[in-house]
Structure 1
Amino acid sequence: MGIATLRSGAFSLAMIGACAVLALGVGSGQAAPKQPATKEPAAQTPAKPNQLNLTRELPSPYSPNAEGAKPASPNPNADAAYGAYQRGRYVTAFREATKRIEANPKDAAAMTLLGELYNQGLGVKQDPKRAHEWYRLAAAQNDANAMASLGLMAMDGRGQPKDEKAARSWLEQAARKGQPSACYNLALIQLASDKPADLAAAVANFRAAAEAEVPAAQYALGVLYLQGKGVAKDTTQAAQWFRRAADNGDLGAEVEFAIRLFNGDGVAKDEARAARYFLHAAQRGNAIAQNRIAKLYVAGRGVPKNLVEAAAWNLAAASQGRSDAGLDQATAGLNPDERKRAEALAADRANLSQ
């Protein structure tokens, strides 16, 4: 089985409500065209199981489990309370934050921390209304993290009626102070607008969040450069932002940067390095990466040829709805022992996607 030039599929940044979606197409598995550097035609947007989404909302800046967001830097004003929070000692964090406020009724960092504890139900019973009250008190003291959290709560109607106008206002206030998650979420709202000024502002806010190492923003900026939306089309810039997002743990960016590496699109062609990115994303349960690394194992490109590994990754991808007749055919000649080993590996890998 030959391996065609790997490609991205149809990209679309659908607006708020439908979510912004990056869809990666599938390589055909046919022989590559004879013309050098010719890519396959764009594919149709794949079905839902094969889509990678730019989610509208990042978790709160204080969230210890914020996927795609780095933990906030320790705030010197939160001292023992914030330190306890970062170590997962939430009851202690609540107690210390309360002591801080008793000593200083204008301690915005402690107020925001109490808001977060109530918002997530950490160390206390979850109570969005109490969270909202504490965030409002902190925002009155110009705390940007509290403003960002209020924006997200207003957007979702948590602890208050849903209010998109108020959400945007809070996010704008926090973004003006450089709060990274506010910049990212505001950019997604602005991207929904058809006003040129909003598109320019969205790019600026994505960039501010990206420079603060928010992986989702780095990924989004890469998509914009790839599309030439709001910026001049620049595959080199796209590849650079995908790399930064990938190295910060963004799964979609890992796959996209691997495709750029394999094709030499915006970055020097390096099939072995591409294979490492594909393999890491596959091990994290991404069906697209599992399909791609299976193709590389069949062809022996970037990795040694290994039909057992190819079959195992193909089966793992198929368990997520990404079947591939070409890979099925390429691995059909395994003997019973090889097939058994591949199925055992696939069963283990299927758990990665759960």
Structure 2
Amino acid sequence: MRRTVMQIHNHSFRGVQAPRRGLTIALRTLCLAALTAGAVSGAGVPNARADFQAGWVAYERGDFLTAYNEWQPLAEKGETRAQFNIGVMYDEGKGLTQDRSKAIEWWTKAAKNGDAQAQHNLGLAYLAGTGVGQDYAEAVSWLKRAAGSGLIRSQYALGRMYDYGFGVEKNEAEAAKWIRMAADQGFDKAQYNMGKRYRDGIGVTKDKDAATKWFMAAAERGHVRAQHYTGLRYLSGDGVKKDAIAALMWLTLSARAGDRAAAKDRENLVSRLPRADRQQAESLADKWRPKQASAGG
């Protein structure tokens, strides 16, 4: 499993507000396609925080063995961030011999202590059968815990499990409920998915206005297909007022990102618009910047 290293700010230790630094997960493609961190339990003791920080500083400079030596005693004492991070180190083989079974072992400890990131990773591991036997029911169990803690990617993954009937009875309404939670927190893939649901009436009542709203929300965060669909909606006036310039802007953005269908639609639209409109749309596309997604994992 591929993981990325980053900082997570402003998580609480037991009654003490302090910045949390740790390792967090990257979106990973699994058998459900585009599924894929969280709550933390710590002693809140200054020395423990200093030891964890020393490990983080070592990790940032690439001294993985020192990081492990700082974190391992904390992990043995039940410090969930250290447990999770050691799991990532075993998973990636950084400073340690790569061993997914050991990664699972440490993530399981952190997950049982309530760490949502570890719960999410376990869910994906059981889903894919990576380091453990494939077990959809167990995957659902862990994803539910992480999703219940508000972890966005777990909410989305759990929704997709209900879509496919993996480990649970297939239930499109339940899928829509969990995916909507992730969409409400700004996850572009969930927003795009909700757009399709409202367009096609999958787990929700068909609603073209709602479909357009969600496609536009995802488009504004840089989702390429959503940008294509948003362009088409501005072109047709489906759920939004017709606007050829806005249509061309969104089609241009999608085409620039490699969407071939959008490029074709853009070419057709360009041939029908006056030069001034084309220039305005190009200028808007040049100035456009994506909205920042939620930091909720």
Q: Same fold (TM over 0.5)?
A: yes
C-alpha distance in 2 between matches for 1:58 and 1:224: 24
CA contact (8 A) 2:123 2:143 kept: yes
1:202 to 136, 139, 164: 139
Give the SS at the match of 1:64. strand
State the match for 1:329 in structure 2: 268
Q: Is the aligned partner of 1:221 residue 2:161? A: no
Give the SS at the match of 2:8. coil
State the match for 1:307 in structure 2: 244
Please say which structure displays the higher CA radius of gyration. 1
CA contact (8 A) 1:295 1:327 kept: no
CA contact (8 A) 2:172 2:202 kept: yes
State the match for 1:22 in structure 2: none
CA contact (8 A) 1:254 1:278 kept: yes
C-alpha distance in 2 between matches for 1:344 and 1:128: 46
In the superposition, the TM-score normalised over structure 2's length comes to 0.80
Q: Is the aligned partner of 1:76 residue 2:20? A: no
Distance 1:321 1:158, change over 3 A: same
Distance 1:174 1:159, change over 3 A: same
CA contact (8 A) 1:155 1:164 kept: yes
State the match for 1:338 in structure 2: 277
State the match for 1:96 in structure 2: none
C-alpha distance in 2 between matches for 1:228 and 1:58: 29
Distance 1:136 1:291, change over 3 A: same
Matches within 5 A, 1:1-354: 56-57=2-3, 63-64=7-8, 72=11, 74-76=12-14, 79=16, 83=18, 85=19, 100-101=46-47, 107=48, 109-119=49-59, 121=60, 125-193=61-129, 198-324=135-261, 325-330=264-269, 332-349=271-288, 352=290
* Range moving further from structure 2, 318-327 or 187-196: 187-196
> How many residues are treated as equivalent by the alignment?
266
CA contact (8 A) 2:81 2:110 kept: yes
C-alpha distance in 1 between matches for 2:195 and 2:54: 42
Deviations 1:188-207 (A, max 9, x none): 11112299872211110011
Give % identity.
29
Distance 1:116 1:293, change over 3 A: same
Q: Going by fraction, where is strand more abundant, 1 or 2?
A: 2
- List, as ranges, runs of 4+ consecutive aligned residues in structure 1 with deviation greater than 6 Å: 194-197
Letter in 2 for 1:259: K
CA contact (8 A) 1:193 1:199 kept: no
Q: List gaps (5 residues or longer) in structure 1.
A: 1-15, 17-55, 66-70, 88-98, 102-106
Shift of 1:327: 4.9
In the superposition, the TM-score normalised over structure 1's length comes to 0.68
C-alpha distance in 1 between matches for 2:93 and 2:170: 37
RMSD over aligned Cα atoms:
2.7
